[in-house]
Amino acid sequence: NFTKSSLNIENYQKQIDEENESKNIITNEFTEKGKLDLILNIDEGIEKEEKLQNECKEKVEKNNAEIERLDNENIKINQELAQNRANQILQNKVFNDAESDVQEYEKAKNSIEKLAKLFDVDFVNIKQTIEASIEEREKQRNSYQIEKQIKSRKLELINKYNTIIPNEDILHLKEKLENKCNYVIAGFEKLAEYDEEERNEIINNPLIMYSVFVDNNSFEKLKVKQIETELQNLVPIANIEMLRQEAVIKSKDYIFPISVDVLQNSNTEKLEEYKSKLEKNIEGLNSKILDVKSRIDREQEYLNEVKIFEQTYSSKNIIDSLYENVDSAKSQIEKLEKEQK
């Protein structure tokens, strides 16, 4: 047993020696490389490493948190800048619109002032002046149109009857009586039925050629107003029987007296000359009517412009507010610019 125990001790001793030898080899190896402290202080090194790692981790976390804070702050700043820019753009538009309104007002005012100068009146009286001018030109145009109608009617009658009709009321009366009397004829039409010698005898009565003749029965009715003529102008009406009987027609034999100085001329040359004169007069009246209409249209445009101006800028408060809006918008822009800096 002792021997066996001795052998075991020897074996353990041998094993310890081998391990020490191995340890010495390793120790020598590290000693040669200057790393003995790593072996001696390995636990301490591990602790320091872990501590450094933890410190780095904490720094990283802090840095990340700071980065996130700065990012959030930058986002907020950018949002504020964007809002400020948007406000500035909006305020610039408000300012431009306000300034445009002022310019539009001043342009309209200058235009009205030019109209006042054109009509040689004060600014406040321009509307009434233009209205009065338009009214006067309307009367003038109506006068030209009436004159044109009269001359056109005369020309129409001359072409129709081949004789000068100084007063178309003669034929107007004839047309009215045709539906009320059995027989109606104008004096100049009746004279045309006679030869020149007979005509010269009859024409001694100056009213015959400017009268309207009716049958005896109708004449008597007209005398007692049983037939209504509805005429505005007086035209002589005579009994055709008196003319047929070659009786002398006296003034008392006319139903409606007339006092006009007119001339009827059957001379062809003078007739054509008169027609040509009428045509030129009508042409001239057409030109005058168009010219007056053009002036009325232009003055109507002026009047509309004045009315729009008065409606748009109807009070001093409205005008003052235009300039106040410009000043207010300008102040807001300056305020935003300071905030942005």
pLDDT reported for residue 232: 47
Q: At what angle do helices 268-312 and 42-118 cross, to 10 degrees?
A: 140
Q: Check: CB of residue 295 under 8 Å from CB of residue 137.
A: yes
* Cα(157)–Cα(210) distance, integer angstroms: 14
CA angle 151, 156, 159 (to 5 degrees): 125
Beta-carbon-side half-sphere exposure of residue 93 (alpha carbons within 13 Å)? 5
Distance (Å) of CA 76 to CA 17, 64, 89, 338, 340: 74, 18, 20, 19, 14
pLDDT reported for residue 14: 64
Edge to edge, the sheet with strand 237-239 lists 184-186, 212-214, 237-239
Q: Which amino acid is at 257?
A: P
Question: Which tokens sit at 147?
Answer: 């004159």
* Cα(240)–Cα(227) distance, integer angstroms: 17
* Cα(21)–Cα(171) distance, integer angstroms: 163
β-bridge partners, 159: none
pLDDT reported for residue 261: 36
Q: Check: CB of residue 151 under 8 Å from CB of residue 285.
A: yes
Q: Summarize pLDDT for 271-293 with one digit per residue, the tens.
A: 788 788 889 999 999 999 999 99
How far is residue 107 CA from its own chain's centroid?
Answer: 16
Question: Which tokens sit at 294?
Answer: 């053009």
β-bridge partners, 184: 214
* Cα(272)–Cα(163) distance, integer angstroms: 10
pLDDT reported for residue 170: 80
Q: Check: CB of residue 333 under 8 Å from CB of residue 88.
A: yes
Q: What is Dmax (Cα atoms) for the chain?
A: 206
* Cα(213)–Cα(235) distance, integer angstroms: 11
Tens-digit pLDDT string for the chain (341 aa): 444 444 445 555 566 566 566 656 666 655 554 555 555 555 565 667 667 777 777 887 787 777 888 777 778 877 776 777 777 777 788 888 888 889 999 999 999 999 999 999 998 899 999 999 999 999 999 889 888 887 887 788 677 766 665 566 788 788 888 888 899 998 878 877 877 677 666 656 666 777 889 998 988 888 777 666 655 445 678 888 877 776 666 656 677 643 333 334 445 777 788 788 889 999 999 999 999 999 999 999 999 999 999 999 988 999 999 898 888 888 887 887 777 66
CA angle 113, 294, 145 (to 5 degrees): 135
Distance (Å) of CA 277 to CA 161, 271, 273, 285, 340: 18, 10, 6, 12, 84
pLDDT reported for residue 87: 74
* Cα(25)–Cα(115) distance, integer angstroms: 121
pLDDT reported for residue 45: 58
Q: Check: CB of residue 88 under 8 Å from CB of residue 337.
A: yes
Q: Summarize pLDDT for 232-243 with one digit per residue, the tens.
A: 445 678 888 877
Where does 162-267 have alpha helices with state H? 169-177, 187-191, 196-202, 216-223, 240-244
pLDDT reported for residue 165: 56
Q: How many CB atoms lie within 10 A of CB 81?
A: 11
pLDDT reported for residue 3: 44
